[in-house]
């Protein structure tokens, strides 16, 4: 009876992972583009996901789900050689600058309609040179695991994993030096530097999500749009496509401070812009 229950839980977990991958393939409408000049900070760290590898300093990092442990294995490949770095990663996405790698480790409990539930959750820094882990924050009780979406070396950005893959909940800013976390209670998918602020979007959700500007430490949140499915930063403007739940859309823009909002098209059916 116990074996049947374990097999059932494993099958449910595999289905959840396939659902996450499927949702990511078919939410291409939700995109974020940045054509500003690259700078230090958030651009120094590369986001790696279980469905897309990334290259940093000549090394390709990738992830693969292990249904036996309900965790991800993180790999590093260079000069044709591939090795496993971690086997205790619970985050669907991680970040690295080639020196440090940030991820969340947790013990899987069960799957649910809105994602998995975990215990013994820990935010961890992995030193790629010494191959040692350092626990930065330990979380109490049960809850979702976090996926990491950005880091500038001082602040790390992440959100609760959901059934929507890149669509994350309860956006958080972590002060790495003080080891303090601030939850904003908002959905998120991407972060990028805009002037001296951080632009956060939730375009990973099929139905779109909020677009907002924050200070690097998560303070002074300014909402640009409650629901957008596309966001791009070009020149002196932030462009975003707003959407309604009956799929009317319009293209809008504002300045890099989130002011002077302007609708560029009228509401219409289909994807504007």
pLDDT band at 34 (very low <50, low <70, confident <90, very high): very low
Checking if the pLDDT of 193 tops 70, the result is yes
Checking if the pLDDT of 37 tops 70, the result is no
- Taking CA atoms, 107 is separated from 63, 87, 111, 144, 200, in Å, by 18, 12, 12, 11, 29
Tell me what the pLDDT averaged over the chain comes to: 89
pLDDT, tens only, 195-243: 999 999 999 999 999 999 999 999 999 999 999 999 999 999 999 999 9
Checking if the pLDDT of 88 tops 90, the result is yes
Contact 38, 45 (CB under 8 A): no
Q: What is the mean pLDDT of residues 75-103?
A: 98
Checking if the pLDDT of 7 tops 80, the result is no
Task: Give CA–CA dist 233/11, Å, rounded.
Answer: 41
How many residues are listed for the chain in this entry?
A: 273
Instruction: Say what the pLDDT of residue 10 is.
Output: 52
Task: Give CA–CA dist 73/241, Å, rounded.
Answer: 36
Domain extent for 171: 2-269
Instruction: Say what the pLDDT of residue 30 is.
Output: 55
More confident residue, 35 or 129: 129
Q: How many structural domains are present in the chain?
A: 1
Rounded to an integer, what is the distance from CA 161 to the centroid of its chain? 8
Instruction: Say what the pLDDT of residue 41 is.
Output: 83
Task: Give CA–CA dist 179/271, Å, rounded.
Answer: 41
Checking if the pLDDT of 14 tops 60, the result is no
CATH number at residue 133: 2.120.10
- Taking CA atoms, 175 is separated from 40, 126, 155, in Å, by 18, 16, 5
Task: Give CA–CA dist 167/155, Å, rounded.
Answer: 20
Beta strands in 18-168 (DSSP E): 31-34, 46-49, 54-56, 59-66, 71-78, 81-89, 93-96, 100-112, 115-127, 132-138, 146-151, 155-160
Checking if the pLDDT of 23 tops 80, the result is no
210 Cβ contact list (under 8 Å, min separation 6): 186, 187, 200, 201, 202, 223, 225, 226, 227, 228
Instruction: Say what the pLDDT of residue 21 is.
Output: 43
Question: What is the percentage of the chain residues whose pLDDT exceeds 90?
Answer: 80
The label of the residue with tokens 């070009």 reads 234
Checking if the pLDDT of 1 tops 80, the result is no
Task: Give CA–CA dist 250/159, Å, rounded.
Answer: 27
Checking if the pLDDT of 130 tops 50, the result is yes
Checking if the pLDDT of 35 tops 90, the result is no
Contact 189, 205 (CB under 8 A): yes
């Amino acid at each position: 009876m116990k074996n049947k229950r374990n097999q059932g839980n494993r099958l449910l977990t595999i289905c959840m992972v396939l659902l996450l991958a499927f949702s990511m393939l078919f939410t291409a409408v939700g995109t974020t583009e940045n054509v500003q000049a690259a700078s230090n900070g958030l651009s120094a760290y590369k986001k790696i996901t279980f469905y897309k590898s990334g290259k940093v300093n000549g090394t390709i990092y990738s992830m693969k789900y292990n249904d036996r442990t309900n965790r991800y294995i993180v790999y590093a490949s260079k000069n044709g050689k591939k090795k496993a770095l971690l086997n205790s990663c619970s985050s669907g996405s991680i970040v690295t600058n080639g020196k440090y790698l940030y991820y969340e480790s947790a013990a899987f409990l069960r799957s649910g309609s809105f994602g998995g539930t975990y215990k013994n959750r820990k935010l961890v820094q992995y030193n790629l040179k010494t191959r040692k882990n350092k626990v930065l924050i330990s979380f109490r009780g049960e809850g979702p695991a976090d996926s990491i979406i950005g880091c500038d070396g001082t602040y790390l950005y992440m959100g609760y994993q959901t059934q929507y893959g890149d669509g994350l909940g309860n956006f958080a800013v972590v002060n790495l030096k003080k080891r303090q976390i601030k939850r904003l209670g908002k959905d998120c998918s991407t972060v990028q530097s805009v002037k001296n602020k951080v632009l956060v979007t939730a375009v990973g959700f099929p139905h779109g999500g909020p677009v907002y500007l924050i200070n690097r430490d998560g303070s002074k949140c300014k909402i640009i749009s409650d629901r957008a499915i596309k966001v791009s930063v070009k020149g002196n403007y932030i462009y975003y496509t707003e959407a309604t739940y009956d799929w009317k859309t319009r293209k809008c823009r504002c300045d890099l401070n989130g002011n002077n909002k302007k609708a560029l098209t009228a509401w219409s059916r289909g994807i504007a812009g």
